[in-house]
């Protein structure tokens, strides 16, 4: 297994190189540059040209790419033209915010989705099942920004139950209980929004697996032995239905770490998703290329993580 994992990790290197090249080329095709916003009737055109030359914007594209990828290999993603700080430091600050939001979103997602999926599968074709399926279809059909705006307006502005921006109340001292609760409190509304939108896949997977498992021979054998139906579901059906959920879990984690662009932007939450949108608006190429490369890496990591989780849940599966 360890040899296979090492092979999979090594195979990610050429994939990331190809991805980095595509990212760099597409970023260069964007109109304008970070210095375009400095152009005004009073600005010094010669000084702006000097800034572009210092940044290497007039070097051949392959020279720019080589300099960038060498820096990336050394952990240097360049400097943000907008924030005037190293990109690695900027992403590091935002990544922690996205990490905590992602963890809370995952917990809420599975707390909602697993019970609903089990109920829908166990009570197939009943009113309970149809209601849950309807809920999953509606949550899947609602665009992220629509539900986010509805929740923000209703629970944030109208009812005042949750904060409408930021990550923590500045009046609390760091590491205190009030500070930690304030951070959780600021994350709750965006996390609930993401959890509601993300339950569809888990519900449908779990429902289908439970329905299929109910007709298996080992379930009929357990029922014929007089085992109570509750134990049949908890020890046999539910356990064997977790495999696709385990596969889904890896992509859920890495997808959330990538940041929800719309949710973080709507709720004013300073994570990687919001940073990505701001960088596109300001044409901050260093941040854009670093974030897209990070999101691509997380996607590859999610695929590997899903395979590892599946092999742990079901020892019969081996990573190829």
pLDDT of residue 37: 55
Query: 34-68: per-residue pLDDT in tens?
Result: 666 555 555 666 766 777 776 667 677 788 788 88
How would you class 251 by CB atoms within 10 Å of its CB: exposed for 0-12, middle for 13-18, buried for 19 or more?
A: middle
Q: Could you tell me the pTM of the whole model?
A: 0.74
Q: What is the per-residue DSSP string for the chain?
A: -HHHHHHHHHHHHHHHHHHHHHHHHHHHTSSS-TTGGG--TTS-HHHHHHHHHHTTTTS-HHHHHHHHHHHHHTT---B-TTT-SBHHHHHHHHHHHHHHHHHHHHHHHHHHHHHHHHHHHHTTTSHHHHHHHHHHHHHHHS-HHHHHHHHIIIIIIIS--S-SS-SS-TTSPTTSHHHHHHHHHHHHHHHHHHHHHHHHHHHHHHHHHHHHHHTSHHHHHHHHTT--HHHHIIIIIHHHTHHHHHHHHHHHHHHHHT--HHHHHHTT--SHHHHHHHHHHHT-HHHHHHHHHHHHHHHHHHHHHHHHHHHHH-TT----
Query: 195-225: per-residue pLDDT in tens?
Result: 888 788 788 888 887 777 777 766 677 667 7
Residue appearing with tokens 């914007």: 57
The model's confidence at residue 189, banded by pLDDT at 50, 70 and 90, is confident
pLDDT of residue 316: 58
Residue that wins the pLDDT comparison between 195 and 238: 195
Highest mean pLDDT among 67-81, 180-194, 271-285: 180-194
pLDDT of residue 258: 56
pLDDT of residue 318: 56
Give the chain's mean pLDDT: 77
Query: 244-301: per-residue pLDDT in tens?
Result: 676 666 667 666 665 577 788 888 888 888 888 888 877 777 888 888 888 888 777 7
Residue appearing with tokens 């970070």: 34
pLDDT of residue 170: 74
Task: Give mean pLDDT, residues 95-102.
Answer: 84
pLDDT of residue 236: 65
């Amino acid at each position: 297994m360890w040899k296979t994992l090492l092979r999979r990790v090594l195979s990610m290197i050429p994939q990331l190189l190809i991805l980095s090249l595509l990212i760099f080329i597409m970023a260069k095709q964007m109109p304008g540059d970070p210095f375009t916003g400095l152009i005004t009737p009073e600005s010094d055109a010669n000084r702006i040209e000097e800034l572009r030359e210092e940044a290497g914007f007039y070097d051949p594209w392959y020279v720019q790419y080589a300099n960038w990828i060498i820096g990336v290999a050394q952990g240097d993603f360049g400097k943000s033209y907008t924030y005037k700080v190293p990109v690695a430091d900027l992403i590091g600050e935002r990544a922690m915010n996205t990490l905590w939001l992602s963890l809370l979103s995952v917990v809420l997602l599975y707390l909602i989705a697993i019970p609903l999926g089990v109920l829908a599968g166990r009570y197939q074709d009943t009113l309970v099942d149809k209601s849950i399926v309807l809920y999953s279809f509606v949550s899947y059909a609602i665009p992220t920004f629509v539900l986010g705006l509805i929740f923000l307006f209703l629970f944030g502005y109208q009812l005042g139950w949750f904060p409408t921006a930021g990550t923590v109340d500045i009046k609390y001292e760091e590491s205190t209980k009030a500070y930690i609760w304030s951070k959780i409190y600021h994350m709750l509304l965006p996390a609930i929004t993401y959890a509601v939108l993300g339950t569809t896949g888990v519900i449908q997977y779990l429902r289908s697996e439970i329905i299929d498992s109910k007709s298996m021979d080992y379930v009929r054998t357990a029922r014929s032995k007089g085992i109570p139906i509750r134990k049949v579901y908890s020890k046999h059906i539910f356990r064997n239905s977790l495999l696709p959920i385990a596969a889904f879990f890896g992509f859920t984690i890495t997808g959330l770490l990538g940041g929800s662009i719309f949710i973080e932007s709507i709720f004013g939450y300073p994570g990687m998703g919001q940073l990505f949108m701001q960088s596109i608006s300001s044409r901050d190429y260093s941040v854009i290329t670093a974030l897209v490369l990070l999101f691509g890496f997380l996607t590859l990591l999610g695929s590997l993580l899903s395979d590892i989780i599946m092999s742990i849940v079901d020892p019969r599966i081996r990573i190829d």
